[in-house]
Each structure stands twice: as structure tokens, then as C-alpha cells.
Structure 1
Amino acid sequence: MNSTDQSRIIYPEQLSLQSVHIVRIVSISTTSFNRFVLNVMGPIPDSSCHVIQETGIPAYWPLCTAAKAFTTTILQPGGDLAYTTQQWKRALETIRADDGPSIPNTSMRLCNHGELTDQGRRQMVSLGKQLRQLYVDQLKLLPPLLTDARTVSFRSSPYLRALDSLQHVVWGLFPPSARSASFGLPLIVMRSPEDETLLPNEDFCKRFIEMSKAYARRTADQWNESSEMTYLNSLLRKYMPSQKLPDEFYSSKVADIIDKIAYEEEFGAYHESREMRRVGIGALLGDVTERLVAHANHSATTGDTNQKLFLAGSHDSTLGAIMASLGVVDVEAKRKWPPYASALAIELFSDPEGEDMNPLDSTSTPRASYSQLSAEQKTRLKRYYVRMCYNGQALVVPGCRRPGHNWNGNASFCSLATFKQVVDDFTPRNWKQTCKENLGEASFPRVAEPAGYW
């Protein structure tokens, strides 16, 4: 079990699991655009799709059986809002060398770019079943039959592969037989692209775009003349762009070097720059922390709260940014790009022996920073603990290692008070405004600002 292997994760009997936020990336999908493409030629056997001349890589892959059975909701004419569904199948039209259309005539299984494959769909249903086994069957966090729609919350980024991936997880986690009539259809929340913070917004956050380009340039300058790049060139340059990908492309050493360089370009900034954390992922982690605090406050006064599960369909850039920004990735160890179908669970626990049941001081706003909370609210948060689990491994936020900031010396159970202070340090008060600030200024901090502290 990859994404939800909890065999190494212990759930202490002394702590009560209250809620869980699961951020996961899309499963196996096709590339978002053609790789190694300079020219295309031909239809090739079996797939009737074009092949990249220089490498032999098909431009479109016959891995999407779902293309034979898509469904669209149709609103019938009239004023009674009558809906029906229409099934349809899809063929991908390509362009010949002379710009004329070339329609595949032997396959209805071709994947469009950035589309979830058959294997990816199966993998996501399996992930949902694994989550059900853990949080429903084993830990009893959720009931076997959902009756209250407020119990769960689902959110997806605007990308179709993320939405498809999330729906398959939901199907495995809560199949129709596990939803009562009162629960209704699963509700999936989405945002417009300019408001999206479920992944670092590289289309509308100008300061993030500016900083990302600066770090990409720095990474290129750092690695272009390195011994590692010399090694890659000595093995791979002779094959580019004239032949199919040879065995050298799949060497573990080659993969490790590419992984290291790609990680540094995409996520290195979060390790050293508070501003990058703020414009890239701070808004999302601010949302998560707001819900954790609200749950703790609500539970402390009523003994219960509605929402138990928040499930987000996101991307590798989301998981990598979260973990780098919280400092849970060992800088000295191998830093790996998040693999397909990875899942990050942020679990909230309470210590029943220490829960404060005094009336709630509700003077603060939902997005209030830790310093704005009352003394009573701060005390209550210390009775709650946050643990992060990534693909079956518990993670440790550096600031949570200090005595008094975790549960019984176990640094993986970070006090909610400490976790909130770490996140507050890079949570923007107005994300859109923050994206407009410091444009044209230096992208690198004068002194490194290590992640995971406050």
C-alpha cells in the first residue's frame, strides 16, 4: 500500500482522533503536453496516433478506456429543471504534416494531455477504499453510513485530472451504498482559477511567478556546469533528439540526479524564504489551520463538531510546497518529488484528560493569529495535537521538537498551539494583495529563513 500505508503509524489509546485533512495528488495521468517534440509524423500501428519523430514517444497514449463512456448532464427544455444524462464517446483528432485533420479510426482509448489513465482511475478507487478501511472501519472517525453532509468536505483544483481523481477517491471511500438519502450527492467545492490556493498559483499570483522564475534561474546557474549535469550529458546527450529513449534514461543514478535538480527548482525556495511560503502555500495552510482551531474550540465547548474529514484533490506542487514550508523534509537527506497518488494526512487529536470545557471566549475572528487569542483560548489549543502522515510515514515539524511543544516528548504529535504559530508565520492576511507586493524586489532573502519555526 503506497499512499495510505499506516502500518508504521501508531494511534495512541490516550489520544482521541478528532478530524483529518487529506491533501492528495492526482494519480497516474498523461503528460500535460508533448515531451521532446520537434516534429510529428505519421499514424503508428495499434494506436492510430502520431509519434514524436526524434524519440519514438507517442504523442497520444491509448490508456484511457473511459473515453468510450463519458457522461454529460443535460437540462431538458421547460421550466421544471428536469435533468437527464447523455453518454458519449470521444476520439482525438490530430493534425497531419500538411495541417489537414487526421482522425484516429482504430482506437477510442486515446488519452488527451493531462488526463487520468485507466490505471490512475483504478488506483484512486483503491486509495479511497484504503482510507475507508482506516478512518471508518479501524478508527471509527466516520460512520459506516453517511447521513449528515456536514460530516465531510471535498474540494478540487480547477484541473480536470484533479477533479476526476478526487471523484474516484470519494467513490472508493464512500460508495453509493455508504451514503443515505438524507446525505444526498457528494458536494465538491471548486474555485475560479484566479482565487485558487489549493496549489501554488502560477497563473495569477504575480509575486509568486516572479519569485519562481528567479529560483528557476538560480537552479539552472547552479547545476548547468555541475559534475552531475556533466554526467547526465555524457550519458544522454547523444540520444537527443535522434532516437527512442534508451536504458540510460531509466538508470537509478540518472533518476536521482534529475529528481534532486527538479526538486530544488520547484521547492527549494520554500525551505529558505518566508515570502515564498506566504505567496505559494500560506493561504491553503491558513485555511487548514483555521479549521483545526475552529474544531478544537467547538469541540471544547460542545463535546462534538460536525466536520470530521476534509479531502482535497490537488497536485504534486501542493504536497511538495506544504512539506517544504513546514520544514518536514530533511535538507540533508534525499529530497524526492512526490510520486503519483501520494497523500498527506493532517490529523487532529485531543487529550481527553486535559480538555478544557470552560465556555468559549469568542472575541477573536476565525483567521486570528495566535498572538490575538485570549489566554484561555491559547490554553485550550495546547490540549490538542496535530500529526502529519505522508505515504505511511509520520513527519516532524522542527519547531515541535522542543520540550513542551508536543505530546509526551513525541515530536510527531505537535501541539496545535505550536503548529498554528508555525503556520501563522507565513499565512497572508490578504493573499491577493500579497501577490501584488514587492514586485521587482529581490526574490532571495538576505539571510535564509528556515522553515518549520516561527
Structure 2
Amino acid sequence: MSPRHSSLLVALLPLFYGVLILQTYAHTIGESDTRSNMGIWGANGVAGKAPKKGHVPLDVDGYPAAPAELELQQVHVYVRHGERAPVGIRMAGPPANLPEHWMFCHTAREFRAAVASVASGDSFSAFPPIQDELKAEELRVRRVVERPDGTAAVGECLLGELTDIGRESTYNFGSNLRKLYIDRLKFLPDVVRSNDELYLRSTNMPRTIESLQQVIHGLYPVSKSAADFVPLLRIRNGKDENLFGNTLACKRLEVLQIGFAQAAAAAWNSTLEPLDKKLSKYIGGNPVRLDGKPRASGILDTIRAADAHGVEVPPEFKEEGVLDTIEKAVVTEWFAGYRSEEVRRLGMGPLLSDLARKMQVKAEKGDADPTKILIHSTHDTCLAGLSNTLDIFDEKWPAFTAAVTFELFKSRQPATPPASTWQSLFSIFTPAQGTSEHYVRVRYQNQNKPLPLCAEEGKHLPGHPEFCTLAAFRERVKELTPDDWEAECTFVPGNKEKDREAAQAAAALTIAKP
């Protein structure tokens, strides 16, 4: 591997996966501050109000009702985590003077953690079964961020950590799910009693895990949960993760993504060059480039995080076209790969295959499958990858708490006239007709998104192109599902450099100069 490619890989990996932080407490069973049902408090102990910039709340009032002939069966939600601190320290010195230490994490700094204890004085007791968990011995701890000089400040965020505002927005997302699917549509039960009724999953990162906890609390607060109900939060091992394009487990996907990143830099860096006069002074005199120091994606990340928390940014970033140009370049770098069928198969194929399989099970079993809502707490890369793969991407970086939602409907059985005696007799020998037609509606950023894959007549509900037949949806997903994902993910040892050069050349054909 050449030094240039090696340094590029080192620079990209933290961006692809964020900052992996080990969650050191065993199980959070309560937050120390009981003054709020939400646990959302500012530094002064009063409820904070989240800025709306960079945040997309779930719109309950604007949700369009389905046609009367359709009945909702199942909902799959893929939601980006809430507002967070930036994943790196950038522009902290003069003249930008953005925070080096982000003091937006006062909430949930105390935990009561379940711990193993010495029982009977001679051996460690095992963790109790989940139904007895509240009887476990507890250890009260407070978590703080230690700085290199050994000092620690209460309320400081780790890099990439979910902030108080992020906790509030994800709680509100869950609360709005409740308002929509329980209060308005009467689809979900008012009180949750079993994990058979809902499916909860997160990537193995603190900000998505904590976001999902807030969503759960908003959807089913303690007052709306059975006394013995303990939600199961599912997390997969890294090698099995499919809630984003898994370049750690799929080396061929890594090669392709780096090729697209290099092709994007070649296409867009000249367009970014005019921004140097405005912005270079804020990044140590360095040029604004996709592969620069800092990378353009890092600049965008920091400015978006600052905006989300009401932190003042340099005036040049507010000028018309500045952030838009950076965003277009960064979106191309990260997501143009999903215009490629191979990247779609390797990156989003496993996720879509899981989704389609679960919908088919629900369609076949009906009420025998009790799962009505599946909530996945994930990342911007998942939302952009999904929407791009389905050809509905808006070419914008996904906002905090933005969501892609897949709703499964079935056509209601039409009323039939009473059968005659002869019809009833002969029906014994007549094969049963197929099950009701099922449809999939996709929503992104609070909007219905008709899928191009089912635009043809017969592949959607007549007069309603946003309702794709489940059959047409599954047909396209089958094309996107590798027969042997692991085999397609491999590359010939020793040809990595050649593969990357070929990937960059192929990507250059896809990425047009701006």
C-alpha cells in the first residue's frame, strides 16, 4: 500500500465509523435526577429548549392518512441519533474560537449500575435474571471527561457523544411516534406488555444506544409500560452489523468506497478552491479540500454540530453558497458510491434483505406475527445509503433524528355477499385464493417517497404511486441481495492497490465534475 493510500485510509476510517467508545457500565436502571420524567435538564437545572437548526422532528399533524382500503400492518423505522458533539476538535483556536470542550452533557452523568457482588462471603453472585434485575446490588457512579492535564469538568462531552439536546430530540421523536401510531392511528397498544410487540435495535455506539433509550422512553414511558416489562435492546457484533455499509467486514466495499472518495476529491477540489480566501484562516491556513487537513467533511461536521447547539460560527460560514458547496462535495464523497449497483449490494443489500424478509413473514402470518413496530437507531450513513439505493435520496446530509420509515399495508377484504348452498358446497373442493395484496410505503424526512422501482403500472396501488406492491419491492431487494455476501466482499490478496485504482477509475465515470 502506498503512503498516500495508507494515510487516506487512516483518515477515512474514523469518519466511516465515528468514535468507538466502550460503554463501561453494565446496565443503566435509572438516572439520578428524578425531577423530570425525561431527564432533560440544562446546566442550571431547568428544562432546556433545543434549537431547531439541523434537526428534523417527526411531523405528526402532516402525516398523510392511507387510502381507506388499506390497513397498516407493520412499521420499520430507521432513525439517526440525536444531536451530538463533533467527532473531532477543529477550529478551536483563534480566529474561529469554536469550543475545544463541548459543555452540553449534563444529563445522565450519574448511573446506578448493576454489579456482581460477593454473596455468602465466599463467591461472586451471577447477574440476576432479567425479571429480578431490580434486586441486583447497585453501584452509584458519576462519569466525567478527564482532560490531558488531569482536570475534569462536569457536563463536558466526549467527542461524538449524544448531548442533552440530542437526548431531548430523540425523546421527542419517541413521543411523536406515540402520538402518531397510538393516539392518532390506534395502531400500537396503549400499554406495552411484551417484547413480542416491538423490536428495538441499535448499532454498538453509545450515541445510538442512548438515543434508542430516549426513543423508547418517549414511545412507552414508565406509566405506559407493564410493571414486569423490560425492553430488549438488540445490538449486533461488528462483523454482523448491517445498519450501515460495513466496510470493516466487507473489504471489497472498503476498496470501492475509498475509490469513490478519491474520485470525488479529483472532481470537487477545484470547486472548493474559491472558498480558501474565506475559510483558510479558520483552519490553520490550509486549503478547503475533501482530502485536506482538516477534511471538508470534518469542517461540515463541526459547523453542523455548532449550529445545532446554538454555538456562534464565523460569519463566512453563513454566507450564501458556502456551506451548500461544502455539503454537495462531502455528500458526493461519502454517498455517490451508492449510485453503483455493487456498492448498493454490498452496503445496503443485507439490511434490505432483512427488512423484506420480515415484511414477508408479517404478510404471510398476519396477526400470528405480533411484531408491529421495529425501531433501529443508526447513523446518517444508513439513511443516505438506504435512500440512495432506492433512488429517493435528496442529495442532502441527513439531519439529526431524520428517519426513513417503511410501512407495510394490506388491502382490506371487500365485503362479499352470502354464498348460496351450491357455492358453499363446491367451495370445499375449490383451492383457497391468495392472501390480500400488500403494499409498502416509504417515507423520508416526513415526506412520502414514491419508489422508481415500482413506477410501472401493476407495481403500485392504482392512483397511489407511493404504495409499492410488496411483490415489486421484494423483487428489487432480491436483485440487491448477494447470494454469498462474504464471497462478494473478498478481494484477491496482493491486488488491493490495483483494486483501488480500478475502483477510482470506475467511480470517476459515475462522479461528474460539478
TM-score by length of 1: 0.81
The answer to whether 1:275 aligns with 2:329 is no
Inter-CA distance 67–90: structure 2 relative to 1 (3 Å threshold)? farther
Cα contact 2:56–2:400 (8 A) shared by 1: no
Q: How does 1:222-261 map to 2 (within 5 A)?
A: 222-226=267-271, 229-241=272-284, 246-261=314-329
Structure 2 residue ranges without an equivalent (≥5): 1-54, 120-124, 129-135, 287-311, 416-430
The answer to whether 1:168 aligns with 2:209 is no
Partner Cα distance (1:386, 1:116) in 2: 32
Q: How does 1:284-363 map to 2 (within 5 A)?
A: 284-299=351-366, 303-329=367-393, 335-353=395-413
Name the residue aligned to 1:20.
Answer: 75
Name the residue aligned to 1:152.
Answer: 198
Deviations 1:288-341 (A, max 9, x none): 111011111112xxx5421101000100000000000011125xxxx1010011
Partner Cα distance (2:150, 2:329) in 1: 38
Q: CA deviation at 1:240?
A: 3.1
Inter-CA distance 404–75: structure 2 relative to 1 (3 Å threshold)? same
Cα contact 1:89–1:108 (8 A) shared by 2: no
Root mean square deviation of aligned Cα: 2.7
Inter-CA distance 258–446: structure 2 relative to 1 (3 Å threshold)? closer
1:392 partner letter: N
Cα contact 1:54–1:241 (8 A) shared by 2: no
Q: Matched residues, percent identical?
A: 29
1:87 partner letter: R
Partner Cα distance (1:74, 1:379) in 2: 53
The answer to whether 1:66 aligns with 2:114 is no
Name the residue aligned to 2:10.
Answer: none
1:281 partner letter: M
1:307 partner letter: T
Partner Cα distance (1:102, 1:127) in 2: 37
Inter-CA distance 173–235: structure 2 relative to 1 (3 Å threshold)? same
Partner Cα distance (2:458, 2:509) in 1: 28
2:154 partner letter: M
Cα contact 1:239–1:245 (8 A) shared by 2: no
Cα contact 1:162–1:314 (8 A) shared by 2: yes
2:392 partner letter: V
Name the residue aligned to 1:90.
Answer: 143
Inter-CA distance 155–403: structure 2 relative to 1 (3 Å threshold)? same
Cα contact 1:24–1:312 (8 A) shared by 2: yes
Partner Cα distance (2:333, 2:108) in 1: 35
1:250 partner letter: K
Partner Cα distance (2:248, 2:258) in 1: 12
Inter-CA distance 15–245: structure 2 relative to 1 (3 Å threshold)? closer
TM-score by length of 2: 0.72
Task: Point out the more displaced range, 113-122 or 251-260.
Answer: 251-260
Partner Cα distance (1:215, 1:198) in 2: 20
The answer to whether 1:116 aligns with 2:116 is no
Partner Cα distance (2:432, 2:490) in 1: 33
Aligned residues: 396
Q: CA deviation at 1:287?
A: 0.5
Inter-CA distance 447–242: structure 2 relative to 1 (3 Å threshold)? closer
Inter-CA distance 80–397: structure 2 relative to 1 (3 Å threshold)? closer
Partner Cα distance (2:197, 2:491) in 1: 38
The residue matched to 2:398 in structure 1 has which SS? Answer: coil
Which of 75, 81, 84 does residue 29 from structure 1 map onto? Answer: 84
Partner Cα distance (2:168, 2:467) in 1: 33
Cα contact 1:55–1:245 (8 A) shared by 2: yes
